[in-house]
A and B are shown apart, each in its own frame.
Chain A
Amino acid sequence: MAEADAMNAAGAVEPRDVPSGETVLRLSDIELGFGGVKAINKVSFEVRKGEILAIIGPNGAGKSSMLNVINGFYKPQLGSITFKGETMRAMQPHHAAKNGIARTFQNIALFKGMSTLDNLMTGRMLKMKRNAFWQALYWGPAQREELVHREAVERIIDFLEIQAIRRTPVGRLPYGLQKRVELGRALAMEPDILLLDEPMAGMNVEEKEDMCRFVLEVNQEFGTTIVLIEHDMGVVMDISDRVVVLDHGVKIADGTPDQVRADQRVIDAYLGVSH
């Protein structure tokens, strides 16, 4: 695909030097509570390179909290995280970003006062090196740096088909487009792992189809590992390689879509059988 080649040329893709299926991220016995409430209770699972992993579960199951633990916004009280061979008690947001974890949010967390272009450029933040002095001059190295990143960002804009809203402040965009811009901002970070928190919530069928296409293309063409939370079971079963099911902060199933679909505890959790 031409777009993929262009992304490759810009170095947007980590070369697939590790064979697919190797564990890149492992969460072990994670426990997280707020006051007396246990949001996550001894949950362990792993994320394998190049896969699409879906985390599903009823409301309040601890799905978003799990993502917050992965990228360091919440610090678990117990358990450990192993990422790229390094084991730690908790992730730091900055460390996560630097090591290639990007995410989108359930309730869109875009920079509303900035244009689409600036939002995506902000995603390139960690890749920019020039200091404030050169930036104040906007000349020489700083200008060249801006232009290099602008090119990379323009490729993402083309990929997501959002050329027309390049200069629009994102606060004025409709919901579906905001979700798309947020995906773009995460892609601008050229992540190894992309965490998507309900990327299709509140979308109509057409927008959902577009979003599915983007997610699959990102995964297949660029080899990005994807962890997503989604409520639409049709979407989950269609696009994910593996599914982790949480209920009340506990993991109740973990496997391929077919295995999970057949699991009695999953069926009970979704149909509300009392345990």
Chain B
Amino acid sequence: MIYREAGQFKTSYAADQGIFPIRLDRMGMVALLLIAYLAIPAVANHYWLVSILVPFLVFSMAAIGLNILTGYAGQLSLGTGGFMACGAFAAYKLATAFPDLHIIIVLLLSGTITAAVGVLFGLPSLRIKGFYLAVATLAAQFFLIWMFNKFGWFNNYSPSGVISAPPMHLFGDIYITGPQSSPLVKYLFLLTFVAIMALAAKNLTRCKIGRSWMAIRDMDIAAEIIGIRPLWAKLSAFAVSSFYIGIAGATWAFIYTGSVEALAFDINRSFQVLFMIIIGGLGSILGSFLGAGFIVLLPIFLNNAPGLVGWHIPVDMLAHLEFMIFGALIIFFLIVEPHGLARLWTVAKEKLRLWPFPH
């Protein structure tokens, strides 16, 4: 079968407004979900689930969040780590203060709390733009990490400053956190949760609110004259973005690592997520996934590839090489394709749609 839209006529705007207007795309999505829900659980081993798939899903969530703010609304943020920490510590306080709360409620509430914090630190965006704002978000990054690190109340006065997720049930007696939880349950739960959240994000970005974000990003003066309130557009972007990032932080602490300290969310975490959306594609939900996958897999590849061809590179040297490769890739993508992997995918599809005729 060839990738074509010819012969697929749409008789209503509803059909034309769908997420996947082309039939083959819809089928591809179904196939992808089948693989994710059936094939991967059947073949993936413990290492794959714990070290690759679960962090990939957590990072995807964070990348979607940052992409909403930076990719769609055009507000550069270097405070992702701080907001992730906010979500993690909010979830911890909620789960320990109200042990009966369901994990989903805890996640959504911690996202909401992070959204409120995000709006607070987003207030300066009403008056400042571009790298001025980036510096302002650095204030959020350093202040939040310091706060969670210094005040015992946030970690229930644990001497090490580490928070550990209490064991929580998903349903029945199936654990989602704590030592009795199985990696497969974690993976399937995160897969469902992230898929739903990604769908919601996609819907937001193609609706009124998403268009108001992009309008502010592309030409804020014109947006204002059309009747978009910059205040509302920017703060809503900060709120929704922080909501996603907060949930990512909470799932990081509760489901991915199980226990975490504030320093796990330092400025390097912010850069890591920023790199995901640059490489994956600014202003693309699909790109958030591609970027997260790329950044999760690249270090694993770098660690194993030299060994496969018989080179032995010392561990610290590898870490430095990783830095260099990340830096070079960022520059490469910004030069060659600022819209990242997602745009390469779209361009490939556009070409394929017309293939084998050039026009």
Contact = CB atoms under 8 A, between A and B. Distances in A.
B208 interface: yes
Contact of B209 (A93, A96, A105, A135): A135
Interface stretch (A20-28, A77-85, A146-154): A146-154
B233 to A, nearest CB: 10
A57 B316 CA distance: 69
Given A125-B208, A151-B13, A111 B225 contact: no
A132 B224 contact: no
Interface in A112-153: 112-114, 118, 121-123, 125-126, 128, 130, 132, 135-138, 142-143, 146-147, 150-151
A262 interface: no
Contacts of A142: 207
Given A103-B225, A185-B226, A113 B214 contact: yes
A111 B17 contact: no
B204 A125 contact: no
B356 to A, nearest CB: 22
Contacts of B218: 110-114
A114 B203 contact: no
Contact of B204 (A96, A111, A135): A135
Tier of interface size on chain A:
35 or more
B214 A136 contact: no
Tier of interface size on chain B:
20 to 34
Contacts of A40: none
A111 B214 contact: yes
Contact of A71 (B14, B203, B225): B225
Contacts of A110: 218-219, 222
Contact of A97 (B206, B212, B217, B227): B227
A156 interface: no
Contacts of A214: none
A13 B41 CA distance: 58
Contact of B224 (A94, A123, A130): A94
Chain B residues touching A, majority SS? helix
B283 interface: yes
Contacts of B223: 111, 122
A151 B17 CA distance: 11
B229 interface: yes
Nearest to A195: B225
Contacts of B17: 143, 146-147, 150
A132 B13 contact: no
Given A132-B204, A135-B209, A143-B14, A105 B236 contact: no
B225 A135 contact: no
A126 B228 CA distance: 8
A218 B131 CA distance: 42
B226 A125 contact: yes
A107 B340 CA distance: 29
A94 B236 contact: no
Contacts of A185: 226
Contacts of A97: 225-227
A125 B240 contact: no
A73 B73 CA distance: 21
A185 B209 CA distance: 17
A98 interface: yes
The 9 closest A-B pairs by CB, nearest first: A97-B227, A109-B222, A138-B203, A111-B218, A135-B207, A136-B200, A126-B227, A128-B208, A150-B13
27 contacts: A72-B225, A73-B224, A98-B227, A109-B221, A110-B219, A111-B214, A111-B215, A111-B217, A113-B283, A114-B214, A122-B211, A122-B214, A122-B215, A125-B228, A126-B226, A126-B227, A132-B204, A135-B203, A135-B204, A135-B207, A135-B208, A136-B201, A136-B203, A137-B203, A143-B17, A151-B13, A189-B227
Interface of B: 12-14, 17, 200-201, 203-204, 206-212, 214-215, 217-219, 221-229, 236, 240, 283
